[in-house]
Amino acid sequence: MALIGLMLFFYKMVGFIRRGLFTDGFVPDLERHLVAGDDQQAISLLQRRRHPAAEIGRLGMSLPVGDGDSRESASDLIASRAHKEIDGLNGGLRLMSAIAVLSPLLGLLGTVMGMINAFQQMEGAGSRIDPSVLSGGIWLALLTTAIGLVVAIPATALHMWMQGIVNRAAAVTEEVCTLIINRGELAGRDSHAAANITRLRHAAE
């Protein structure tokens, strides 16, 4: 189980790196381009990123969101794609979780079986009990629990860490989807703010 968990961890880490999950700092720049109404710069930014959110963002930028119906249709399509991406990132994490849960249980099972065997030896020895045989059986039984915990503790920590990476990717994806769907309002907000500044300048003059 330890070998399976270690192989799974490295496999997922390679996948996370290839998908660019550790390069999600592009969202503020994306928002800035969308607020400025510069869709081409936003698309160019998304094309330079491998993050799943960037892939979904490129899809969203190709869809019209000018009216309510088109926005709803685009939102449904983007949400469906986002769910598939996040499900893909979660692949294998259930196995890591199972390893973390089952390892101590299997160790405990080994301990119970070892204790049963030790007490059977005591029963068979009758009054001629050899303490070394008994202690050796108990030692071996407890060793299985220790091995189970040695496997389970790092497996649990790695599972929690990788799940945190996926949760972070999901949050970034949701943020990008929201920006893309509402890019019309973002650009309008910037234009409205610019108009207000112009009016204030004229009033000051």
67-124 pLDDT per residue, tens: 778 888 888 999 999 999 999 999 889 899 999 999 989 888 888 888 888 777 777 7
Instruction: Say if 40 falls within a structural domain.
Output: yes
**Average of per-residue pLDDT across 60-64:** 88
Instruction: Say if 101 falls within a structural domain.
Output: no
Instruction: Say if 105 falls within a structural domain.
Output: no
Confidence of residue 155 (pLDDT cuts 50, 70, 90): very high
Instruction: Say if 119 falls within a structural domain.
Output: no
**Average of per-residue pLDDT across 186-197:** 52
Question: Between 131-181 and 93-125, two packed helices, what is the crossing angle to 10 degrees?
Answer: 170
DSSP secondary structure of 86-118 = HHHHHTTHHHHHHHHHHHHHHHHHHHHHHHHHH
| Cβ-based neighbour number of residue 68 at 10 Å | 8
Instruction: Say if 143 falls within a structural domain.
Output: no
Instruction: Say if 84 falls within a structural domain.
Output: yes
Per-residue confidence (pLDDT) for residue 112, from 0 to 100: 86
CB under 8 Å to 67, separation ≥6 — which residues?
A: none
Q: Is the confidence at residue 127, as pLDDT, over 70? A: no
Cα R_g (the chain), whole angstroms: 29
Mean of per-residue pLDDT scores for the chain: 83
**Average of per-residue pLDDT across 25-38:** 89
Q: Count Cα atoms within 13 angstroms, Cβ side, for 45.
A: 22
Residues in the chain: 205
Q: Is the confidence at residue 192, as pLDDT, over 60? A: no
Q: 39 is in which domain, residue-wise?
A: 2-94+152-204
| Residue type at 172 in one-letter notation | V
Closest to 78 in 3D by CA, of 54, 51, 58, 60: 60
Instruction: Say if 27 falls within a structural domain.
Output: yes
Q: Is the confidence at residue 199, as pLDDT, over 60? A: no
pLDDT, tens only, 130-149: 666 667 777 778 888 899 89
Q: What is the tally of structural domains in the chain? A: 1
Are the beta carbons of 155 and 5 closer than 8 angstroms?
A: yes
Share of the chain above pLDDT 70, in %: 85
Instruction: Say if 136 falls within a structural domain.
Output: no
